[in-house]
Structure 1
Amino acid sequence: MAKKTVATLHTGKMDGRSYTKVIKMVKSPKTGAYIFDEQMVPNEAVKDFFKN
């Protein structure tokens, strides 16, 4: 069963690999505590995500 599931993930377009999950620590303006900002961004926009 697992082999069939894995095989279905690799068929067709490979659009899923064009995105990266990025995590950035951001200081909250209200409390001053750090929070984590998690997003799925395109591979080309990873550097722009960390610049802001």
Structure 2
Amino acid sequence: MAKKVVASLQKKEGKNFAKVIRAVRSEKTDAYTFREEIVTLDQVQDTLKKN
């Protein structure tokens, strides 16, 4: 599925988007999970700053 998302981001209309992957620690198990978000380029810094 990730390949499909990345391939769609390479189209002309998809160049204004970025895929942000963050590691989030679980409170129950102390294990890390990864959250993926697709945001516009001007929202990337705001997305990375939020907890």
Instruction: Please report the TM-score for the alignment, with normalisation by the length of structure 1.
Output: 0.67
SS of the residue 1:32 aligns to: coil
What is aligned with 1:48? 46
Please give the alpha-carbon distance, in whole angstroms, between the structure 1 residues aligned to 2:41 and 2:28: 31
Deviation beyond 2 Å, 4+ runs, structure 1: none
Of 2, 26, 29, 1:28 maps to 26
What is aligned with 1:37? 35
Any unmatched runs of 5+ in structure 2?
1-9
Please give the alpha-carbon distance, in whole angstroms, between the structure 2 residues aligned to 1:28 and 1:48: 22
Aligned residues: 41
Q: CA RMSD in A?
A: 1.8
User: Of the two, which has the highest radius of gyration?
Assistant: 1
